[in-house]
Amino acid sequence: MKTKLIDCLRPLMLGAVMLSSTAHAAVQTLDKIVAIVDNDVVMQSQLDQRVHEVQQTIAKRGGAVPPTSVLDQQVLERLIVENLQLQIGERSGIRITDEELNQAIGTIAQRNNMSLEQFRAALAHDGLSFNDAREQVRREMIISRVRQRRVAERIQVSEQEVKNFLASDLGKMQLSEEYRLANILVPTPESANSTTIQAAARQAGEIYQQLKQGADFAQLAIARSGSETALEGGEMGWRKAAQLPPPFDRMLSSMAVGDVTEPVRTPGGFIILKLQEKRGGQTQLRDEVHVRHILIKPSEIRSEAETKVLAQRLYDRIQAGADFAELAKSFSEDPGSALNGGDLNWIDPNALVPEFREVMANAPQGQVSKPFQTQYGWHVLEVLGRRATDSTAQAREQQAMNVLRNRKYDEELQSWLRQIRDEAYVEIKLPGADQAAQ
C-alpha cells in the first residue's frame, strides 16, 4: 500500500522572524517564543506549522478535527521532547551527511513509487518545500540515532531469557496472530501518590466509557492521550501478542476487531488498547536467496565515477568468461564475503538494503547483474539459487531475541523520554497554558 506523504513527513519547521507589510510600512514581529527548552526555544511558527500538519492528517483520515487549543497543548509537548532529543544529538556530535540524507530521501520516494521529481511535485502539492522536507528528514534521522545510542544500546537480552521465552506459552504463540493496535495513555509520574493515581484511574475510566458509547478512538487519543503516538490517533502499528506486556497478550486473543480493552495499570500509567486489525495465525515459510556479489567502494583515491567504471570493467570481464569468485577474491571490498568468492550464502532478502534486494529479486538465476549502486558502493551480483524454508532453530532464537528487545525497547523508550523531560528546564509561554520551569 502506498505510504501517505503526510505520514512519511512530519515537518519540523525552524522558527523564523516574519515581518508584516502594513499600509504604513510598519515592522511587526509576528513570531514569538512559546517554550524555552534547556538551551533552545520552540517558536510559535514551529507550533503553528506542526498543528497545521496534524489538522491535515486528521482531515485526510476523515475525522473531526479537535479544537486548536487542544492540539496546541499536545503538539507543543511533542515539539519539546523532540527538541530535547535534538539537543542531545548536537552535544553527542551526531551528524547526518548529505549522502545519507539523499539516500533517505530516495528511499522515501521509492516507497511511494515515485521518481525524485515526482516526489518534489507531491511535496509541493501538500504545501511542503523540498528543502523543508530534507531538513525534517535530517532531524528525524538524528532523533533515531539518539534513541539508538541512549536506549537501544543499553538493552540486554540474555540467552537464558531467549530460552525461557521459547519454552513459554507466549513464545509458542510467536508464529500466531499479529495485531494492529492503537492506544490511549493516561500517564502517572513515577513518584505519584495515591490521590494522583486515583485521579488518573478516573480519567481513564471516563475515556473508556466514552469509547463504549461510540466515541472516536483516534480523536480521543489526539485530545487526551499522553502517549508518544497521541498525534497519530494512538496508532502503534503491528504487534505480536508476545511483544505486549501482560495482561494485554492474553486479552487480545479473545477480542474482535474494533474492540477496546478496559484501562490497565502499567508503570507508565493507565493504557487502553484498540484492536484495529488481525493477521497471520499460520506457520510462514521464509524465502531465502543464495547470492554472491562483488563490492567496489569509492575512496579518497578513487572517485565515485572511477568506482563505477571499475565495477563496469569487472562486469565486462565476467561476461567475457572471467571467473566471478576469483575476481571477488581480488577486487571485492566486502570483508565478510570476499575471501569466499563473494558468496553471501543463503540469506533472507529482508536483511539487505532495498536497492540490493530489488536487483536480486529481478535477477534471473545464473545471470550476473549489471553494476548498481547502494549506500555501500557499486555492486555486481549473481543469484545462485532460491528456496522457501521453515524457520530454523537459529532463526527462531533470533526472532525471540528481536521480540524481547522490542518489548524492552518500547518500555525503556517511554521511561527515557519521561526522564529527559523531567530533568530538563522547560518554561512554557503558550497563552492559556500553565507556566512550568523544571
Residue with cell 488498547: 273
Distance (Å, rounded) from C-alpha 287 to C-alpha 347? 9
Closest-CA residue to 282 (of 177, 169, 390): 177
* 275 and 177 Cβ atoms separated by less than 8 Å: no
The answer to whether 278 and 188 are in contact (CB under 8 A) is: no
Phi and psi, residue 53, nearest 5°: -65, -40
Q: Is the distance from CB of 234 to CB of 274 less than 8 angstroms?
A: yes
Burial class (CB in 10 A: 0-12, 13-18, 19+), 394: exposed
CA distance 285 to 366: 24
Number of Cβ within 10 Å of residue 130's Cβ equals 14
- Do residues 314 and 327 lie in contact, with contact meaning Cβ atoms separated by under 8 Å? yes
pTM of the model: 0.51
Residue 433's pLDDT is 61
Q: Crossing angle for the helix pair 116-125 and 130-150, nearest 10 degrees?
A: 100
pLDDT for res 21: 32
The set of cell numbers assigned to 81 is 521532547
How far is 412 from 253, CA to CA, in rounded Å? Answer: 25
Q: Residue 395's pLDDT is what?
A: 67
> Phi-psi category of 366—alpha, beta or left, where left has phi over 0 and alpha has psi -120 to 50?
left
Joined grid coordinates for residue 376: 555501500
Q: Return the pLDDT at 383.
A: 96
Per residue of the chain (438 residues), what is the pLDDT tens digit? Answer: 334 444 444 433 333 222 233 334 444 557 899 999 999 999 998 898 888 888 888 887 877 888 888 899 899 999 999 999 999 999 988 888 888 888 888 888 888 888 888 988 888 887 778 888 888 899 999 998 898 888 877 788 888 998 888 888 777 666 567 889 999 999 998 888 989 999 999 999 999 999 999 999 999 999 999 998 999 999 999 987 767 777 887 788 778 899 999 999 988 899 999 999 987 655 556 788 999 999 999 887 888 889 999 999 999 999 999 999 999 999 999 988 999 999 999 998 988 999 999 999 999 999 999 999 998 899 999 999 998 876 556 667 777 888 888 888 888 888 899 999 999 999 998 876 654 434
CB-side neighbour CA atoms (13 Å) of 156: 4
Q: In the prediction, which pLDDT does 8 show?
A: 47
Residue 5: per-residue pLDDT: 42
Catalogue all structural domains in the chain, each as residue range(s) with its CATH number: 177-279 (3.10.50.40), 285-389 (3.10.50.40)
